[in-house]
Structures are given as C-alpha cells and as structure tokens.
Amino acid sequence: MAPMTTPILRLQNVKKVFNSFVAVDNVSLEVTEGEFVCLLGPSGCGKTTTLRMIAGLETPTEGEIFLREKRITYLPPQQRGIGFVFQNYALFWHMTVYDNLAFGLRLRRLPVAEINKRVCEIAERFELMDLLKVRAVSLDLSAMQRVAIARTLLTDPHLLLLDEPLNNIRPGLREMMRADLKRMQQELRKTMIYVTHDQEEALTLGDRIVVMNMGRIEQVASPQEIYDLPATLFVAGFIGRPPMNLFDVKYAVEGGHSWLVWRQYRWCVDKVRDRIEAAYPENGLVLGVRPEEIKISYKAPGIHAKVVLVQPLGRKDVLMLELEGETVHGVVPAELCINVGDMVFVEFPPEGMHVFSATTKEAIVHGIS
C-alpha cells in the first residue's frame, strides 16, 4: 500500500444536485500521493459524478475541491493537470497509435524531436513500439487501454482518473488487463482514482476502497478492512460473493448474562455487553455472519438446516440453506460432498459474528467472543 503522506487531492463536503436529485451528498475524501483508490458502489450511487467533479467536467453545488492544496473547485478541466481515461477510451480511431500519443504534445507546440522522444519512451514502457504505425481502430482491447492511459500520462497529470475502463470487456481478458493496470500503476507510482461497480475489481486493484451508496460514502478503508470489518449494513451486504448473511435479532439480559436472541436460538455476548448496551436501539439489532465463517457439518451441535442449492466453484461449494424459514448461504470445501436435500447442522462461530444497529445501520461490534 502507498505510504500515507500529505494528500494530493482533498474533497471537502462536496455536494452535487441535478434539479432536485441529490447525486452526491456531503462527500469528504483525501487521496495521498501514489495511491490507487477505487470508488465502488452500485449504479447511481454517485461515484462517476464524483469523478467528473474532480476532473472539472461537473461543478459542485456545494463544497470545495483541492489539488496539492490549491483550490480547483471552479477551475476549467484543462487547467487542473488531471488526466481522465473514459470507459470507451476516447481514442482518435482514424489516427495511428503514434498520432494518438503525440496529440496532446502537439497541442502544446513542443518541438518535433521532443515529441518523438517522449512518445517513443512511453511506447516502449507500455509495449506499444510495434504498434506505432497501426491505426487505433485496428487495435485489440488491451492495446486500446494501454494507448489511452499512455496518451493521458504523456501530459504528466498530477493524478489519473479512470471511469470503468474495463466495463465492457469479456471476463478472461478483463482479469489480464486488470493485472496489467495494477502493475503499471505500481511501476509509475502515479496516483489513480478508479470508478467501478465490480467489487472484485476494487478488492484486487485498490490500496483503499471508497464504498458509496445513494450519493454518500459508507466506508473508506483497505480492501481487507472493508471485507473483515464492514462499517455499515450496506457494506456488509454489498461486499462479498455471496454477501454476508443478515438476521434481525433482539438483545436480552437473563440469568445474569446478556444474549442475542433469534427465534429459539441465543448467543452469549457478555464480553461485548457494554458496547451493545451503549448502542442498543429500540428497533433492535442485526446479526451478520459471512458465508465462509459458518461451520456446516452432518453432526450436531448447531441449527438444523436443509440444503436447497449447491453451486460448485472448484475446490469449494457455495450452499444455499433453508434455516428456520430463512435463506442462508454457506461455503464449504468441495470434498465434503454435500448434496441438495441433505440435512446439515449450522454453527455461527462467535469470532465471525458482526452486530449492527437496525436503526443507524452502523456496526457496533465485530466478533462477540
């Protein structure tokens, strides 16, 4: 991960309203030099609008944007020193790769020798030397991506913004291009902000992930922290395939002990009692358990459940279980050979249990042991 230093980019209470629709709502964010930051969330959550405000393609309704501590909130895009790679790459299809790369440098009226030197240097780094005379329309998708990024980097931007550049690419090639992009970013040590709705992409690429929902930031953290310690119910339910299992539970104190209660089952929470009681809302609590944390076997103890679907995924199987009228997902090693229709026992390990407020939707505690 990139070291945490003085922020290169700072968003301060940024808001964007289109007519009466609030697309981005009070977003504050800092990005440090050399970071790869992913803006992640479902369609319509505000991530692309946020990216466009950073680039200067949209103007904030409220708030401020700073680049290297210079206020750029209302500065035109061409004066910001920010590069933008669009989803369709926006290449000049009738031009050769060389002319695409040289375009921005020619606009600056640099000497021909200087343009040729810079183009060849970056073409060699991006493995484009053999394609310099090829028209952009004839390139494969991997080469298009490299040309789009190389062309933008030739302008020496302070940071590079990428708006779902791999969105329309078939899965196999997408994984390969994703790895190439991460490698390039690490080698160049360029600050990048990458918009995606694909959680796998964000978890793979990002030094930090900004999870957005309905125009707001839900959590900013490393991929591991986002997965292990979700800050809100939205993050818990959005991250993970399958996502976290969530159950409405009650809190009770009986016999000198404190309990989470679901149907006729209960779990002791004495060790985190103070934290739960400090946050306990009238609307109750939500218990979360990731599918891979659940223990599933043919032997008691546990909650009796029926297997209704088995999805083989190589060395593991994803199970859909019917448990007390609820649908629950679990993950088991494939060698267990669990089949549809089998009756199994399900246990929720205390260390893998997360507790959220049903009112605020925020996490109260991770692990009750």
In the predicted model, what is the mean pLDDT of residues 356-361? Answer: 94
Residue 189's pLDDT band, with cuts at 50, 70 and 90, is confident
DSSP-assigned letter for residue 150: H
- Mean pLDDT, the chain, rounded, equals 92
| Helix and strand totals (H; E) in the chain | 9, 21
Judged against a pLDDT cut of 50, whether residue 66 lies above it is answered with yes
Judged against a pLDDT cut of 80, whether residue 5 lies above it is answered with no
Identify the domain boundary among 199, 217, 232.
Answer: 232
Residue 235 backbone phi and psi in degrees, to 5? -60, -40
Residue 141's pLDDT band, with cuts at 50, 70 and 90, is confident
Whole-angstrom CA distances from 134 to 58, 97, 144, 147, 318 are: 34, 6, 11, 11, 46
Residue 170 structure tokens: 């078939």
Predicted local confidence at residue 148, as pLDDT: 87
Identify the domain boundary among 232, 247, 267.
Answer: 232
The answer to whether 1 touches 222, Cβ cutoff 8 Å, is yes
- pLDDT digit string, tens, across residues 77-95: 989 999 998 877 788 999 9
**Where residue 105 sits, what CATH number does that domain have?**
3.40.50.300
Least trusted range by pLDDT, from 109-113, 147-151, 257-261: 147-151
In the predicted model, what is the mean pLDDT of residues 169-195? Answer: 84
Share of the chain above pLDDT 90, in %: 75
Predicted local confidence at residue 1, as pLDDT: 46
The answer to whether 290 touches 240, Cβ cutoff 8 Å, is yes
Residues 197 and 317 in one domain: no
Residues 117 and 260 in one domain: no
Whole-angstrom CA distances from 97 to 72, 104, 199, 356 are: 32, 13, 32, 53
Judged against a pLDDT cut of 90, whether residue 28 lies above it is answered with yes
Predicted local confidence at residue 362, as pLDDT: 95
Predicted local confidence at residue 149, as pLDDT: 85
User: Would the pTM of this model clear 0.75, i.e. be above it?
Assistant: yes
163 lies in a domain?
yes
Residues 217 and 248 in one domain: no
Residues 89 and 152 in one domain: yes
Overall number of domains in the chain: 2
- pLDDT digit string, tens, across residues 193-206: 999 999 999 999 99
Residues 242 and 216 in one domain: no
Least trusted range by pLDDT, from 3-7, 49-53, 162-166, 345-349: 3-7
Predicted local confidence at residue 3, as pLDDT: 44
Cis amide prior to 171 (ω within 30 degrees): no
- Determine whether 215 is exposed, middle or buried from the number of CB atoms within 10 Å of its CB (0-12, 13-18, 19+): buried
Residues 101 and 138 in one domain: yes
Range of the domain at 286: 238-366
Higher pLDDT, 222 or 153: 222
